[in-house]
Amino acid sequence: MMKNFEDMQKMSKDSMDATMKSFGSLSKATQAIAAELADYSKKSFEDGSKVMEKLLGAKSLDKAIEIQTDYARSAYEGFVAEATKIGELYADFAKETYKPFEAYMKAAPAK
C-alpha cells in the first residue's frame, strides 16, 4: 500500500514538473511570436509610408503604377516570408510545449 502511495506522489510530482516546464515554454514562445509580429507590423507600416511618399512625388501615371506594382510585389513576398516564419515559430512552440510530457507519457502504463 505504501509503495502505491509513493508511486502516486512521484507521478503527481512528475506531472506537475512537466506542466510547469510546458508553461515556461508557452511563455517564451508567446513572447517570441508577439515580438516577431510587432516587428513585422512596424516594418510593414514603415514600408507603406515610404511608398505613399514616393506615390505623392510621382511625376506621371506610369511611374505611380510602377511604384504601386513594386510595392505590391514586395509586400506579398514579405507577407509570405513572415507567414512561413510565424508558422515555424508555432511548430517549434508545439514541440517545445509537448517535450516535457514525452518522458512522462512513455513511462505511463498502456491500457
pLDDT string in tens for the chain (111-residue length) = 567 767 777 777 777 777 777 778 788 888 999 999 999 999 999 999 999 999 999 999 999 999 999 999 999 999 999 999 999 999 988 888 777 777 666 665 555
Say how many Å lie between the first and final Cα of the chain, rounded. 22
Instruction: Report the 10 Å Cβ neighbour count for 15.
Output: 14
The C-alpha R_g of the chain, in whole angstroms, comes to 25
Q: Are 25 and 99 in contact (CB under 8 A)?
A: yes
- How far apart are alpha carbons 16 and 12 in whole angstroms? 6
CA pair distance 38, 23, nearest whole angstrom? 22
Q: Distance between CA atoms of 87 and 91, rounded to whole angstroms?
A: 6
Where do the structural domains in the chain lie, given as residue ranges?
Answer: 34-101
> pTM higher than 0.85 for the full model?
no
Which pLDDT does position 14 carry in this prediction?
Answer: 73
